[in-house]
Amino acid sequence: MSFFDYFRSKAQPTSAELAKERLQIIVAHERGARANPDYLPQMQQEIIAVIKKYIAIDQDQVSVQLDSNDDCSVLEVNVTLPD
Amino acid sequence: MAKIIVVTSGKGGVGKTTTSAAIGTGLALSGFKTVVIDFDVGLRNLDLIMGCERRVVYDFVNVIKQEATLNQALIKDKRTDNLFILPASQTRDKDALTQEGVGIVLDELAETFDYIICDSPAGIEKGAQMALYFADVAIVTTNPEVSSVRDSDRILGILQSKSRRAEKADEPVQEHLLLTRYNPARVDAGEMLSVSDVEDILAIPLLGVIPESEAVLKASNSGTPVILDNASDAGQAYDDAVQRLLGKELEHRFLHAPKKGFFQRFLGGK
Ligand SMILES: Nc1ncnc2c1ncn2[C@@H]1O[C@H](COP(=O)(O)OP(=O)(O)OP(=O)(O)O)[C@@H](O)[C@H]1O
Ligand SMILES: [Mg+2]
C-alpha cells in the first residue's frame, strides 16, 4: 500500500474488503435459501401469478418470504401496490 | 478403520488434484497405507500429476463394472511406499459411476487401506456428489477469490445434506478449509481476501494455507507431487497440512510476504 492509498482507504474500502462484504451478503442469502422447503420457489411463483391476475404489477414489486425461528414459521407476502 | 477423505471445491481449477496428490503422498510418507482415487471420470489427470500415466491399464470404472479386479487396477507408486493410485476412466462419462458400485469398491479398499483420498471433479452435480457421498472428512479446497469461496459454501451445504453421514444422521462429515494459491503480497496490498476473511465467511476450521508457488507447476511438469519438493514453500505448507490432519498442532506459515531487503527495495526488485 502506498502512502496515498492509506488516505484513500479511509473513504473507500479496498478491493478485498469489497469482496468480503459482497460475499457475506450472498452467502448468508444462499444459506437461508438452503433451509427452505423444496416447494417454496414454485409456491412463490404461483402466489405472484395470482396477484398479477388482479393487479398490474411487476415481478419485483412482490416478495414472498419464509422466515423460520424455533417455534414457528412465518410466510410473508409483501406487495407494493401501484398508485 | 479406513478414513475416507474427499478433496472437493465446487469451482474448477482451484487445486484439488494438486492437493489430493500432495496429501495422499504425505500420508503415505507418514507410514499410512493410502490410495488416491480419481473421480474425475472422462477428465483423468491425477495420473499425470502423480507421474504414473504410462502405467494405467485398468481404471475405476472397469472395477465398478467388474471388468477388472481392484488389484489389477491399482497402481503402486514407484517413489513412495504405501501409496497407490486408482485412475479414472478416460473414455466413459460420470454416469458410469453408481453409488452402489462406488460403495462396493470403497468397502473393499477399506479392508486394507488406512486412508482413501477421493479427488473430486469440479461442479456440484453427480460426479462431485459421488466423490463426497461416502466421506468421513472433507478438505474444502478454496482460492481467496469470490467465486471460489461462494462455491465452497455450496459444497458445504451439500456435505451437510447429501452425504451418507447426513442421510444416516450419523456424526457429520469433518470439514477442513484448505486455502490454496494464497498470495500474501496481494493480501497485504488489500487486493486479495485474507485467511481470516475466508475463515469468517466459511466458518470451518483451517487445515492449511498453500501459497501461490512456482514449485507447483514445476512439480506437475515432472509428475512429482509437490510435497516431495521439501525445499519449496508449497511443499512445506502441504507437509504441515498433513501433520495437522494427523492431529499435530502447528502454527500456520507462509501467511506473510517475505520482507524485501534494502537493496531489493532500492532496485525495485520483486
Ligand atoms: N499453490 C499453487 N500455486 C500455483 N499454482 C497452483 C497452485 N495450486 C494449483 N495450481 C495450479 O492450478 C491449476 C489447477 O490445479 P489442479 O489441477 O490441481 O486443480 P483442480 O481443482 O484439480 O482442477 P479441476 O477442477 O479441473 O479438477 C494447475 O495448473 C496447477 O498447477
Ligand atoms: Mg482435478
Q: How far is the CA of B15 from the centre of ligand 2 (A)?
A: 7
Q: In this structure, which amino acid lies at residue B18?
A: T
CA–CA separation, B198 vs B216, rounded Å?
22
Is pLDDT above 60 for B268? Answer: no
Q: What does pTM read for this prediction? A: 0.88
If one residue of B216, B220, B226, B233 were mutated to test the ligand 1 pocket, choosing by the most ligand atoms within 8 A of its CB, it would be: B216
A16 lies within 8 A of chain B by CB? yes
A34 lies within 8 A of chain B by CB? yes
Q: Contacts of residue B154 in chain A, CB cutoff 8 Å?
A: 30
pLDDT at B31: 97
pLDDT at B270: 45
Selection from B8, B20, B18, B1 nearest residue B162 by Cα: B8
Taking only the tens place, the pLDDT of each residue in B179-194 is 999 999 999 999 999 9
CA–CA separation, A46 vs B120, rounded Å?
38
| Rounded mean pLDDT, B121-143 | 97
Grid coordinates standing for B46? 491425477
Q: In this structure, which amino acid lies at residue A78?
A: N
Measured in Å, how far apart are chain B's first and last C-alpha atoms? 48
List Cβ neighbours of B149 (8 Å cut-off, separation of 6 or more).
A23, A27, B142, B143, B193, B198, B201, B202
Is pLDDT above 90 for B22? Answer: yes
B154 lies within 8 A of chain A by CB? yes
Is pLDDT above 50 for B269? Answer: no
**Partner-chain contact B190 A9, CB within 8 Å:** yes
Q: Mean of the per-residue pLDDT values for chain B?
A: 95
Sheet of strand B34-38, all strands in order from the earlier edge strand to the far edge: B75-76, B83-86, B34-38, B115-119, B3-8, B137-142, B174-182, B206-211
Is the distance from the beta carbon of residue B142 to the nearest atom of ligand 1 less than 6 Å? no
Question: Angle CA(B168)–CA(B37)–CA(B237) in degrees, nearest 5?
Answer: 100
pLDDT at A10: 59
Taking only the tens place, the pLDDT of each residue in B83-123 is 999 999 988 877 889 999 999 999 999 999 999 999 999 99
Q: Mean of the per-residue pLDDT values for chain A?
A: 82
CA–CA separation, B60 vs B69, rounded Å?
10
Q: How far is the CA of A5 from the centre of ligand 2 (A)?
A: 38
Q: How far is the CA of B16 from the centre of ligand 1 (A)?
A: 7
**Partner-chain contact B197 A16, CB within 8 Å:** yes
Q: B34 versus A36: which is more confidently predicted?
A: B34
Q: Write out the DSSP string of B107-139.
A: HHHHTT-SEEEEEPPSSSSHHHHHHHHT-SEEE
CA–CA separation, A75 vs B146, rounded Å?
31
**Partner-chain contact B194 A16, CB within 8 Å:** yes
Taking only the tens place, the pLDDT of each residue in B226-263 is 999 999 999 999 999 999 999 999 999 999 987 766 66
pLDDT at A36: 79
Q: Contacts of residue B143 in chain A, CB cutoff 8 Å?
A: none
A10 lies within 8 A of chain B by CB? no
Strand pairing class (B174-182; B137-142): parallel
**Partner-chain contact A34 B157, CB within 8 Å:** yes
Other beta carbons within 10 Å of A14: 16
| Rounded mean pLDDT, B164-171 | 96
Is pLDDT above 90 for A48? Answer: no
In ligand 1, which atom is closest to the CA atom of B14? 21
Q: What percent of chain B has pLDDT over 90?
A: 92
CA–CA separation, B193 vs B1, rounded Å?
38
Taking only the tens place, the pLDDT of each residue in B33-87 is 999 999 999 999 999 999 999 999 999 999 999 999 999 999 999 999 999 999 9
Beta bridge partners of B70: none
Is pLDDT above 80 for A24? Answer: yes
Under 8 Å between Cβ of B3 and B115: yes
| Rounded mean pLDDT, B152-169 | 96
CA–CA separation, B88 vs B112, rounded Å?
20
Work out the minimum CA distance from B108 to partner chain A, whole angstroms: 35
Under 8 Å between Cβ of B84 and B5: no
Other beta carbons within 10 Å of B70: 18
Q: Phi, psi (5° rounding) for residue B7? A: -105, 110
Is pLDDT above 80 for A67? Answer: no
pLDDT at A82: 76
Q: Contacts of residue B197 in chain A, CB cutoff 8 Å?
A: 16, 19-20
